[in-house]
Structure 1
Amino acid sequence: MIPLLCLILVGIHEAVAVTHSLQYFYTSSSGIHNFPEYVSVGVIDDVQISHCDSFTKTSTAKQEWMNSVTDEYPLYWQEETTTCMKNQLDFKMNIQITKERFNQTNGVHVFQRMYGCEWDDETEEVKGFEQFGYNGEDFIAFDLETESWIAAKQQAFTTKQKWDHLKHIREYEKHYFTMECVNWLRKYLNCGRNSLVKTVSPSVSLLQKSSSSPISCHATGFYPNRAELLWKKDGEEIHEGVEKGQILPNNDGTFQMSVDLQLPSGEEMQRYECVFQLSGVKDQITKLEKTKIRTNKESLMMVIVGVVVTAVILVVLAVSAFILYKKKNAKRPPSPVENKEVQQQMLPEQKA
């Protein structure tokens, strides 16, 4: 049963089904100067909600609405900090033993743990995941369906054998991923609904550098980033002659993206349209008309400069993502409830 945390809008169902996710990333590193040896990050629907590292030694909220959890759990952040400091010691041991298993001593190395769950708010389908990684590659992961551990590296086989024989750990993992994690996910969604579930439609422009250049459909200012931008011809989506760009962040927290169309010579423009799609929002359609195409070079350069700036931001985020592992412990309130007995049996063994 979910505690009465953040009562506003509890029970309201979205008109459009959405899959929500709660993820935690724990990272230990060695050989990286001026970077914390341990970092923990909580993320909900791609939005960071918490942070702690070995430099600050304090777990803090990254979204203002996350502070409301103390209404139900007054010691939330103090306990999160305690967990962070404990994990720092455990993971420092983990990375050292993992290096030994790979016969490595010096150099840059990163050991990570990622876990969490996904929940479909319409079907109630739940998916859980937990995996460990070393130097950006899979090391060992938990398979919720078979309730067993999958060793991605030969060096992880010893750990797999150990954990597969710990029945109470497997049972706890299943309970956590199918129930406890989802309960916390719902709580956080209720607390941050105004921010997490909001949708913002973009402004859409048609841009063309020259008469022979591709026509770029550029959408900017939308939120969240789970959006789609595509070209249609006679009402059907097309792929030939279409080049889609990445979704990039804007400075105000919104996003932008572009999709280019190389219009075939002699084709009638009115047969084409650019369509922006965002879950829960009516499709935004921009008809391809010559009068709508902006060819002013200054305006185009302003857009390009904006993309370059956000691309730099994306590179920084990509580097951070490497440190935080790839997109997937405290299993106790605050971040899900932690079973200390389980942790004591798992982490020391995963000292690798």
Structure 2
Amino acid sequence: VSLNESVLQLFHGSVCFTISSVAALDGRQIDYYDSEIKMLIPRQDWMKEFISGDRFKEYTEIRERVQQTNKINITVLMQQFNQTHGVHTYQRMYGCEWDNETGASEGFDQHGYDGQDFILLDMKELRYFTPVQQGVITMYKWNNNRAQLELLRQYYQYECVNWLQHFLMLRKVDLERGTPEVSLLQKDPSSPVVCHVTSFYPSGVTITWLRNGQEHDEDVDLEELLPNEDGTFQRTSFLNIPPDEWEKNQFVCEVQHRGRTFRKILTADEIKSNNSKLLINKIMPLNKMLNDIDDFAIFKVYMNAAASAAINKMGITFLRIILWQD
């Protein structure tokens, strides 16, 4: 998956009759909602602009409609599993994938009950299938409702992608206000010097080493572009020369981004040592995101290996809305 692809993913879960929801973009929580307070609380500064905008009411109404649907679903599921009491969990993961270069998009829709897959939608064939006997009745019922299936196809192909694009636009405006952070790093005196550039957006950046004012491309290794968990990017360039070489000459790491130039002169005082953690790709896997939010413990049970692998593909932009009931 390339860096131009984006994914909108929504997760719903129900344990009895109170719904809470969290939306996350690239593993970072952007809002919180539950059916008791009936409020959408922003978790990122750029979401505050969205809450004051025209589409906020529509977005909140979607959460409220999901609440009502989940109440019905968990009641029906308890009947199908011949359960009259106890605590039971209903989860749903759905969303869409969109490529901003080709315009291609694809939807997905998965339901789970008590930690197991219950019913899944095959978007190519536009029909549901189930891995459990208790899901057969629901599968036939939903597959026979061709009008509803067509509405779902329209939603995943258009409305879902529209929401994804809207949130990407809001985040883009906020990210473009930022300034690239440039650091010179070195593990030890015999290691290469690293020019590490992070927190920049959009992704286009040029990193050049200068030697005494002239471009120096020998003994230089430029690493691939990496996405950060907050939607920005990072990139590193290694200068492989011995210390006495850069002590005798002036080496400068020059970074160009969006028409602006940033420079770091290579000196012993400028180098940050033992700071290799800054070089770690800051993509946050879904599991870490869920661990950071205590109430996601129930949802973690449902995530199967296939869904987890799809969610954590490098280079994808994610918007995750996770709802559960308790």
* TM-score (norm: length of structure 2): 0.57
Question: Distance between the aligned counterparts of 2:177 and 2:299, measured in 1?
Answer: 26
Question: Would the alpha carbon gap of residues 300 and 218 (structure 1) be closer, same or farther in structure 2, given more than 3 Å must change?
Answer: farther
- Does 2:250 correspond to 1:275? no
Aligned-pair distance for 1:152? 2.8
Paired residue for 2:61? 79
Paired residue for 1:194? 173
Residue pair 2:110, 2:121 contacting (<8 A) in 1 also: yes
Residue pair 1:21, 1:117 contacting (<8 A) in 2 also: yes
**Alignment of structure 1 residues 89-238 onto 2, 5 Å:** 89-93=71-75, 96-97=78-79, 100=81, 106=86, 109-195=88-174, 200=180, 203=183, 205-207=185-187, 222=199
Partner residue of 2:237 out of 258, 261, 285: 285
SS at 2:38 equivalent = coil
In proportion to residue count, which structure has more strand?
2
Paired residue for 1:52? 33
Paired residue for 1:3? none
Aligned-pair distance for 1:314? 5.8
Count of paired positions: 252
Question: Distance between the aligned counterparts of 2:234 and 2:170, measured in 1?
Answer: 26
The aligned amino acid for 2:41 is T
Unaligned runs of 5+ in 1: 1-15, 31-35, 227-269, 329-334, 336-352
Question: Distance between the aligned counterparts of 2:239 and 2:111, measured in 1?
Answer: 48
Question: Would the alpha carbon gap of residues 223 and 22 (structure 1) be closer, same or farther in structure 2, given more than 3 Å must change?
Answer: farther
Instruction: Spell out, residue by residue over 1:295-340, the C-alpha distance to the aligned partner (whole angstroms, 9 max, x if none).
Output: xxxx749969x9xxx9997672386555345467xxxxxx9xxxxx
Paired residue for 1:231? none
**What is the aligned-residue RMSD (CA, Å)?**
4.8
Question: Would the alpha carbon gap of residues 94 and 286 (structure 1) be closer, same or farther in structure 2, given more than 3 Å must change?
Answer: farther
Question: Distance between the aligned counterparts of 1:315 and 1:281, measured in 2?
Answer: 22
The aligned amino acid for 1:25 is F
Question: Would the alpha carbon gap of residues 71 and 131 (structure 1) be closer, same or farther in structure 2, given more than 3 Å must change?
Answer: same
Instruction: Spell out, residue by residue over 1:180-206, the C-alpha distance to the aligned partner (whole angstroms, 9 max, x if none).
Output: 211222222223322367885664634
Question: Would the alpha carbon gap of residues 303 and 65 (structure 1) be closer, same or farther in structure 2, given more than 3 Å must change?
Answer: closer
Instruction: Spell out, residue by residue over 1:123-170, the C-alpha distance to the aligned partner (whole angstroms, 9 max, x if none).
Output: 111011111123444321111110011213333222111111111011
Question: Distance between the aligned counterparts of 2:148 and 2:220, measured in 1?
Answer: 56
SS at 2:75 equivalent = helix
Residue pair 1:119, 1:126 contacting (<8 A) in 2 also: yes
Question: Distance between the aligned counterparts of 2:134 and 2:181, measured in 1?
Answer: 48
Per chain length, whose mean CA-contact separation is higher, i.e. which structure has more relative contact order (CA < 8 Å, sep 6+)? Answer: 2
Aligned-pair distance for 1:218? 11
The aligned amino acid for 2:139 is K
Partner residue of 1:39 out of 20, 23, 29: 20
Instruction: Spell out, residue by residue over 1:51-91, the C-alpha distance to the aligned partner (whole angstroms, 9 max, x if none).
Output: 22244332333334334365434734663564354245335
Question: Distance between the aligned counterparts of 1:68 and 1:315, measured in 2?
Answer: 24
Question: Would the alpha carbon gap of residues 197 and 162 (structure 1) be closer, same or farther in structure 2, given more than 3 Å must change?
Answer: farther
SS at 1:152 equivalent = coil
The aligned amino acid for 1:277 is L
Partner residue of 1:316 out of 291, 298, 307: 291
SS at 2:39 equivalent = coil
What's the % identity of the aligned pairs?
A: 23
Question: Distance between the aligned counterparts of 2:290 and 2:9, measured in 1?
Answer: 22
SS at 2:151 equivalent = helix
Unaligned runs of 5+ in 2: 204-217, 244-265, 312-318, 320-326
Question: Distance between the aligned counterparts of 2:61 and 2:20, measured in 1?
Answer: 16
Question: Would the alpha carbon gap of residues 116 and 37 (structure 1) be closer, same or farther in structure 2, given more than 3 Å must change?
Answer: same
Question: Distance between the aligned counterparts of 2:275 and 2:52, measured in 1?
Answer: 47
SS at 1:23 equivalent = strand
Question: Distance between the aligned counterparts of 1:121 and 1:78, measured in 2?
Answer: 26
